Amino acid sequence: MASVASIFALLAVIGFLILSAAKFAKYSKFNQHSRFDLYPVPKEGNGRGEYGGSYMEEDLWWEKPRSINHVAELVDMGKEMFFIRKLFMNQPSLWVPSMLFHGGIYFMMLFSVLLLIAAFVASPVLETITTVVGVIGFCCALLGCLLLLIRRLTDASLAAYTTPIEYFNLILIAAVLITGIISWLSAANVFEVARSIVTFNFAELPGIVVLHLILLGIMMLYIPASKMGHYAGKFFTFHSVLWNNEPNLPGNAVNSAVKASNAAGATVKWSAPHASPAPAPAPEPIAEEA
């Protein structure tokens, strides 16, 4: 059973990567769409990104070189990815549990990488660092997860919108974290378990560890298929939609894509009366000869 659970957990990690890539691929197919710029767009250069300005503040903008500040864009992305800045700015009371949760997950990801290295490199220092990172990750992620669950259950305005599956998502993550903590604290040496899995040298494992590995595998496969795969969605909402203000100019890539899209047309048509092309005018009646 231990070997089955171990192999399942390993395959689930690979599955996570494949399914996540598939999610990116799914949304990439829809990349050619209208412009929906929304400012501030942080990449706008000449200081405009800071106050929400754009190249359209310039007279004859299409004749001038565009100033794009990639550093500002990266900084803004980083703030959003790692610190959920918009939530902090607009709803700080929800930011606290959300930041604990997401921060905890980032630590857990780092913990996983360190654990992988530690499986091959025996180093007390590395093991100490890994342990510290893991403890922070488990504690923050679990605390954040439980606080989010409580908030959703007790805040009527959130509960009104929360579906059973959204509670299930949080409960699944909490179950993975709780079984992980119990396993680590009471049943197994985390470094030995990791080493046995990645070297395919499967040892017998306590039941709680087996349960943890199975839940972990289910979660890894489930995340990209659920709305918890929003790490993929968020890339598109910002980069492809709100920050995509590339104009359609002769010779550029947007123009090529527009031409291709217009040439392809649509296979499905709208049905309202005004949606159909106006019928060609009836030919003039041929006057009958007297």
Partner 1 sequence: MSKDTKHLRPRDLGRDVAVLSPTDDLKPLPSTFDASLEPEFKEFKDEWAETYCASLDGFVAIDTLKRPETKEEEEEFVRKFLSGLEKLFQDSNKNAVQPLALNMEFCAKCNTCSEACHIYEESNGDEIYRPSFRVDVLRRIYKKHFTTAGKMLGGFVGADIELNWETIARLAELSYRCNLCRRCAQACPMGLDNGLAAREIRKIFSQEMGIAPKAIHEKGTELQLKVGSTTGMTTPAFVDTAEFIEEDIEERTGRSFKFPMDKEGADVLLIHNAGEFIAWPDNPAAFAILLDEAGVDWTLSSEMCAYDGVNYGAWYDDIQAKKIAAKQFEVAKKLGVKRIVMGECGHAHKAIAVSADRMFAAEDKVPVESFLPLMLTLVREGRLKFDPSKNNFPVTLHDPCNYVRQMGIVQPQREIIRACTTDFREMTPHGVDNYCCGGGSGFAIMNNQNFSDFRNHVSARKKLEQIINAFGEDFENPDVLKYVCAPCSNCKGTIRELLKDYKITAKYNVQYSGLVELMVNALVSMEKPFFEFLEE
Residues numbered 56 to 85 that lie near partner 1 (CB under 8 A) are 56-62, 80, 84
126-165: contacts with partner 1 (CB under 8 A)? 156-158, 160-165
Q: Which residues, including other chains, have CB under 8 Å from residue 217's CB and lie 6 or more apart?
A: 5, 8, 9, 11, 12
Q: Which is nearer to partner 1, 80 or 127 (CB)?
A: 80
Work out how close the CB of 43 gets to partner 1 at its nearest, in angstroms, rounded to a whole number: 11
Residues 106, 108, 110, 112: what is their CA dihedral angle, to the nearest 10 degrees? Answer: -150
Total residue length of the chain: 290
- Binding partner 1 (rule: CB under 8 A), the pick from 44, 196, 205, 216 is 44
Q: Does 271 bind partner 1 (CB under 8 A)?
A: yes
Other CB atoms within 10 Å distance of the CB of residue 152: 17
Which among 29-37, 116-124, 129-137, 174-182 is the span making contact with partner 1, rule CB under 8 A? 29-37
Q: Work out the burial of residue 205: count CB atoms within 10 Å of its CB; fewer than 13 is exposed, 13-18 middle, 19 or more buried.
A: buried
Shortest spacing between CB 64 and partner 1, in angstroms:
11
Judged by beta carbon, residue 88 or residue 202, the one nearer partner 1 is 88
Q: Kindly tell me which of 58 and 127 has the beta carbon lying closer to partner 1.
A: 58
Stretch in the footprint of partner 1 (CB under 8 A) among 1-9, 13-21, 43-51, 112-120: 43-51
Binders in 159-218 for partner 1, by CB under 8 A = 160-166, 168
Cβ neighbors of 102 (< 8 A, separation 6 or more) are 84, 144
- Residue 46 CB, shortest distance to partner 1, in Å, is 11
Tokens 């009371």 -> residue:
93
Query: Can you tell me which residue has the tokens 């590339």?
Result: 246
